[in-house]
């Protein structure tokens, strides 16, 4: 070693900033100043247009969309038939099976209308449905799953949610097969034709980022208010992951198996249905599970355009702030979701073994469970004619928890009001409002410039152009202020979700026991339909930004935890050992090795958190935020297609800007560490 030891570069950098980081800090400072003084500055320089986008400059994009929609419904024709005739035909196609499912589960077969209606065949009895589902659980896995499925349906009956639950189940029973079949068909076509895949995938990306509300409006316009429109919205919402998973799993089939299929002399069709699809079954079943969960997620939202059942109950009670009833119906959705989720997961993991294959004999012996189910259906049908309690669960025995929840809320409000209010006020004053003021103060031209600069930093001119164009779209539609409110709510929620989620994730990865508990917690959070979060939060904090933020945090927490845990878990064991051998303390192991290496994964988790937060934000418009979500919601209530689509696209564009910037930075981090490839 020489006498003059140069200070290592990394030591230096801890005290002084690199030129780029310095530039960003300076930019932030300028932005803060601009934001703070923008009003005075604009007045002084006579540049009011920079603060408030002049209405004269607004591009009437919403009107154009509305006009196009009107043309589509009133004039568009394919020659042989008009566009409206086509939508009616689609509606008819979906309506038939739906009516069948509804009759079987809920309404029974009825002849005549109104007061003259005579039910000539009752629906399946509650006992028959419960036992059948329990038997399905046993077939899929074991007695435990049977108990879970049976218990869930028993709960629905005992707690008086049966009728609504069966209406919901009927729509799920139609939406899921159609969503799966449609997704499979599109996925297979995309798998066969690369060009089609290149066409479909960006559309799917956009569909998953546009808030659901935005496409409720055109569906409402095309199909009218009612269960069919709700089913179509559900299918559209639940299908994209199935398409993606289908293409991915087909492409993931072992090339040797494909070669085998060719060598066995399979035709194209034999190859697809006898080799590829069965081999890809585990992946495809994950897709089916996704479709089920997304359909359930849509239950409440779909009730806005005419779906009945549990979703409608939640929405109605939320509107009249009947917390007890809302929570009851909400819990019923969760119970239904858990039962269907576990059943479909069990089905996905089910692998027959040779003992099962050896069973032989007559039909009865080969399918004992189906035989029992059929027997019970028939028996309860016959008995139900004489004993009504067999047919429908007696109302007198139903337990209602509504008053209990209402009482609990009252108690909480009386006893904890001051504490909760103090927490709320503190967070609002010191955290939410400063962010809001800062973001809303930024003049829109400066905002667009910032987006472009960030794009340039991570992805050069292509990304810069994309970010600037998307931001400009929002501005020229006169939605800048609402978009900034969305960014503020989303940003604040994401900061909190990350602050809670990342440490939780790291803890889950480091300690096995914590990992198990946190895993269950996160799984439960993800099974809950998004609306359910709103109910207890509204109960405690009433409507407003704060309530919205809490609901969004709860909803968006899961990916932050999952990705952080995954990032820490996948670090090469040898690197940790190298750290221990070099004498790292546990703290140093965490800060010097684990965190930096998990950073790319954590960034991807952040990306997902933002996406989920944005999708939840639109829903929280129901509790009175003044952002793009509210804009979409208003459009929905007014059936204003153009307004809804433009606002929906604006939310999607915010999501796309965030997604592209974060993905680019995650990619840069991966490249720096030399993990290339994974996750695109």
Partner 1 sequence: MSDLTKLGCRGLWKVFGEDAERFLRANPDPAPGAFRANGLIAAVRSADLDIHVGEIFVIMGLSGSGKSTLVRCLSRLIEPTAGELLFEGRDLLKATQAEMIDIRRYSFGMVFQHFALLPHLSVLENVEFPLDIQGQDAAHRRERALEVIELVGLKGRENYYPRELSGGQQQRVGIARSLAVEPEVWFLDEPFSALDPLIRREMQDEFLRLQAMLKKTIVFITHDFDEAIRLADRIAIMKDGAIIQVDTPQDLVLAPADDYVSEFTRHIPRDKVLTVGAVMHKGAPAGRKSRRANGAAEPIAASARIAEIAERVVDADAPIPVADAEGAIVGSIDRTAIIDVLVGRGQVK
Q: In the complex with partner 1, which residue's Cβ is closer, 269 or 587?
A: 269
Q: In the complex with partner 1, which residue's Cβ is closer, 262 or 591?
A: 262
Q: How many residues bind partner 1 (CB under 8 A)?
A: 23
Mind spelling out the 3-state secondary structure of 376-432? Answer: HHHHHHHHHCCCHHHHCCCHHHCCCCHHHHHHHHHHHHHHHHHHHHHHHHHHHHHHH
Q: How many residues are present in the chain?
A: 680
Q: In the complex with partner 1, which residue's Cβ is closer, 119 or 262?
A: 262
- Which tokens sit at 561? 């935890």
> Which of 129, 93, 531, 536 minimizes the C-alpha distance to 311?
531
Of 134-142, 251-259, 303-311, 328-336, the segment contacting partner 1 by CB under 8 A is: 251-259
- Centre a 10 Å sphere on the Cβ of residue 144 and count the other Cβ atoms it contains: 12
Is residue 352 a contact residue for partner 1 (CB under 8 A)?
A: yes
Q: In the complex with partner 1, which residue's Cβ is closer, 22 or 282?
A: 282
**β-bridge mates for residue 110, sequence order:** 119
Is residue 569 a contact residue for partner 1 (CB under 8 A)?
A: no
Contact present, 94 and 232 (Cβ < 8 Å):
yes
Q: In the complex with partner 1, which residue's Cβ is closer, 67 or 359?
A: 359
Instruction: Please report how close the Cβ of residue 135 comes to partner 1 at its closest, in angstroms.
Output: 23
Of 97-105, 169-177, 214-222, 353-361, the segment contacting partner 1 by CB under 8 A is: 353-361
Is residue 350 a contact residue for partner 1 (CB under 8 A)?
A: no
Instruction: Please report how close the Cβ of residue 37 comes to partner 1 at its closest, in angstroms.
Output: 57
Q: In the complex with partner 1, which residue's Cβ is closer, 265 or 361?
A: 265
Cα angle at 370 between 134 and 368, to 5 degrees? 100
Is residue 264 a contact residue for partner 1 (CB under 8 A)?
A: yes
Is residue 257 a contact residue for partner 1 (CB under 8 A)?
A: yes
H or E stretch covering 205: helix 194-209
- Centre a 10 Å sphere on the Cβ of residue 70 and count the other Cβ atoms it contains: 14
Is residue 254 a contact residue for partner 1 (CB under 8 A)?
A: yes
Interacting residues with partner 1 between 270 and 329 (CB under 8 A)? 270, 274-275, 278-279, 281
Q: In the complex with partner 1, which residue's Cβ is closer, 270 or 524?
A: 270
Of 189-197, 348-356, 569-577, 625-633, the segment contacting partner 1 by CB under 8 A is: 348-356
Contact present, 646 and 67 (Cβ < 8 Å):
no
Is residue 10 a contact residue for partner 1 (CB under 8 A)?
A: no
> Which of 536, 534, 529 minimizes the C-alpha distance to 629?
534
Is residue 361 a contact residue for partner 1 (CB under 8 A)?
A: no
Q: In the complex with partner 1, which residue's Cβ is closer, 275 or 471?
A: 275
Contact present, 505 and 499 (Cβ < 8 Å):
no
Q: In the complex with partner 1, which residue's Cβ is closer, 278 or 403?
A: 278
Coil, strand or helix: which one is 223?
A: helix
Question: Which of 19, 265, 361, 674 contacts partner 1 by CB under 8 A?
Answer: 265
Distance of alpha carbon 399 from alpha carbon 404, whole angstroms: 11
Is residue 673 a contact residue for partner 1 (CB under 8 A)?
A: no
* Crossing angle of helices 194-209 and 162-192, rounded to 10°: 150
Question: Which of 80, 357, 399, 676 contacts partner 1 by CB under 8 A?
Answer: 357
Is residue 333 a contact residue for partner 1 (CB under 8 A)?
A: no
Instruction: Please report how close the Cβ of residue 249 comes to partner 1 at its closest, in angstroms.
Output: 13
> Which of 498, 506, 624, 650 minimizes the C-alpha distance to 564?
506
Is residue 574 a contact residue for partner 1 (CB under 8 A)?
A: no
Q: In the complex with partner 1, which residue's Cβ is closer, 225 or 260?
A: 260
- Centre a 10 Å sphere on the Cβ of residue 24 and count the other Cβ atoms it contains: 15
H or E stretch covering 120: strand 118-121
The site for partner 1 (CB under 8 A) is made up of 254, 256-257, 259-260, 262-267, 270, 274-275, 278-279, 281, 351-354, 357-358
């Amino acid at each position: 070693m020489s006498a003059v030891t140069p200070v290592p570069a990394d030591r230096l950098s801890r005290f002084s900033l690199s030129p780029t980081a310095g530039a960003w800090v300076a930019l932030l400072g300028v932005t803060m100043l601009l934001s703070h003084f923008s009003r005075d500055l604009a007045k002084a320089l006579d540049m009011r247009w920079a603060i408030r986008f002049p209405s004269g400059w607004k591009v009437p994009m919403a009107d154009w969309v509305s006009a196009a929609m009107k043309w589509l419904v009133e004039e568009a024709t394919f020659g042989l038939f008009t566009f409206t005739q086509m939508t009616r035909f689609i509606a008819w196609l979906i309506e038939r099976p739906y009516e069948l499912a509804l009759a079987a589960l809920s309404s029974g077969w009825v002849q005549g209308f109104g007061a003259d209606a005579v039910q000539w065949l009752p629906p399946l009895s509650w006992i028959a449905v419960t036992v059948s589902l329990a038997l399905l659980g046993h077939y899929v896995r074991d007695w435990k799953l049977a108990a879970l499925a049976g218990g869930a349906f028993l709960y629905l009956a005992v707690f008086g949610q049966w009728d609504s639950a069966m209406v919901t189940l009927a729509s799920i029973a139609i939406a899921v097969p159609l969503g799966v079949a449609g997704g499979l068909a599109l996925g297979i076509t995309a798998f066969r034709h690369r060009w089609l895949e290149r066409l479909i995938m960006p559309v799917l990306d956009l569909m998953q980022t546009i808030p659901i509300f935005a496409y409720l409006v055109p569906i409402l316009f095309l199909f009218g208010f009612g269960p069919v429109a709700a089913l179509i919205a559900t299918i559209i919402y639940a299908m994209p992951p199935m398409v993606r998973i289908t293409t991915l799993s087909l492409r993931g089939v072992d090339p040797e198996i494909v070669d085998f299929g060719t060598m066995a002399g399979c035709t194209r069709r034999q190859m697809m249905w006898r080799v590829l699809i069965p081999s890809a079954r585990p992946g495809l079943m994950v897709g089916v599970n996704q479709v089920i969960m997304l359909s359930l997620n849509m239950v409440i939202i779909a009730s806005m355009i005419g779906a009945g059942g549990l979703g409608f109950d939640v929405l109605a009670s939320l509107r009249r702030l009947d917390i007890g009833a809302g929570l009851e119906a909400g819990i019923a959705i969760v119970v239904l979701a858990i039962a269907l989720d576990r059943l479909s997961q069990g089905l996905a993991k089910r692998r027959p073994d040779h003992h099962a294959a050896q069973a032989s004999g007559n039909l009865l012996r080969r399918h004992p469970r189906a035989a029992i189910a059929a027997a019970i259906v028939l028996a309860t049908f016959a008995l139900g004619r004489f004993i009504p309690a067999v047919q429908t669960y007696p109302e007198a025995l139903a337990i209602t928890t509504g008053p209990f929840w209402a009482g609990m809320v009252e108690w909480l409000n009386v006893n904890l009001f001051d504490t909760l209010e103090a927490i709320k006020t503190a967070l609002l004053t010191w955290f939410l409002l400063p962010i809001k003021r800062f973001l809303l103060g930024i003049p829109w031209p400066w905002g667009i410039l910032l987006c472009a600069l960030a794009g340039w930093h991570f992805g050069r001119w292509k990304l810069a152009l994309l970010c600037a164009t998307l931001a400009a779209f929002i501005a020229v539609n006169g939605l800048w202020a609402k978009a900034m409110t969305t960014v503020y709510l989303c940003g604040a929620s994401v900061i909190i979700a990350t602050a809670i989620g990342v440490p939780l994730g790291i803890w889950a990865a480091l300690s096995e026991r914590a990992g198990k508990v946190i895993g269950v917690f996160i799984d439960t959070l993800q099974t809950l339909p998004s609306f359910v979060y709103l109910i207890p939060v509204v109960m405690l904090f009433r409507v407003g930004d704060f309530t919205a933020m809490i609901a969004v945090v709860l909803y968006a927490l899961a990916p932050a935890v999952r990705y952080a845990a995954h990032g820490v878990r996948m670090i090469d064991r040898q690197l940790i050992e190298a750290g221990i051998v070099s004498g790292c303390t546990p703290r140093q192991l965490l800060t010097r090795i684990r965190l930096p290496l998990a950073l790319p994964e954590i960034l991807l988790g952040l990306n997902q958190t933002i996406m989920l937060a944005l999708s939840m934000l639109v829903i929280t418009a129901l509790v009175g935020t003044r952002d793009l979500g509210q804009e979409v919601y208003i459009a929905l209530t007014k059936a204003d297609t153009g307004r809804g689509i433009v606002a929906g696209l604006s939310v999607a564009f915010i999501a796309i800007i965030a997604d592209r910037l974060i993905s680019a930075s995650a990619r840069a981090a991966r490249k720096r560490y030399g993990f290339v490839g994974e996750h695109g």
